[in-house]
Structure 1
Amino acid sequence: MPVSRTALSDDRKVSTAVVEAVAEAEGVTPVEIDTPLHRAIDPDALNRLFGREWTRAGTPRVRFTYSGYEVTVLDAERITVRSADEDERGAPDDSASGQ
């Protein structure tokens, strides 16, 4: 089941919101996630990409896999997290098993 976050506050970093959203999807606290975010993506680069000075120039979109989840960050205000085994509709992806 996908988890979505919206409306990031000015004082909250995108990287922090990503970790919180993945923890929510996993049903754990952020400190209980086994994999540090920097193993999936550079948190500082992610924060800079979605910083105020860059978002005025256009609408960035980043998609990456973290801790078994596909994370999509849209325009610094929306984060969607879903199991990496689900397709776009939220259904299990059978292509990996050859079905």
Structure 2
Amino acid sequence: MQSTHSISLTVVEEIAKQEGVSPEELRPPLHYVIDTDALDSLFQSVDGERVPSTVKFTYNDYMVSIDETGDVNVVDHTSVTEADKTVV
């Protein structure tokens, strides 16, 4: 995790990259979907505090996951759900 960026800003940048737009153009803004202050506080560990192993949430058609190191992964949610389907 980069110490100069909040985790919510990193998430916004990654989603914007997937969308091919600037972070300011994301609709709806991330804070409409998740409490960004709470998200940031989860990953601001202070000596001895525990950071969650993984946080996952959806934003529009994307599955966003953040691991304990602050690595943000944004995947098209429709491709994830399609992969979960089986043919009978």
Deviating above 2 A after TM superposition, structure 1's stretches of 4 or more consecutive aligned residues are: 53-60
Q: Distance in 1 between matches of 2:48 and 2:73?
A: 18
* Runs of 5+ unmatched residues, structure 1: 1-7
Q: Per the alignment, in what secondary structure is the counterpart of residue 93 of structure 1?
A: helix
**Counterpart in the other structure of 2:82:** 93
- Tell me the percent identity: 31
In terms of fraction of residues, the more helix-rich structure is 2
TM-score under structure 1 normalisation?
0.74
Answer 1 or 2: higher relative contact order, Cα 8 Å, separation at least 6.
Answer: 1
Aligned residues: 86
Letter of the 1:86 partner, please give it: S
**Counterpart in the other structure of 1:9:** 2
CA RMSD between the two structures: 2.4
TM-score under structure 2 normalisation?
0.82
**Counterpart in the other structure of 1:24:** 17
Q: Per the alignment, in what secondary structure is the counterpart of residue 85 of structure 1?
A: helix
Q: Distance in 2 between matches of 1:83 and 1:15?
A: 18
Q: Distance in 1 between matches of 2:48 and 2:13?
A: 22
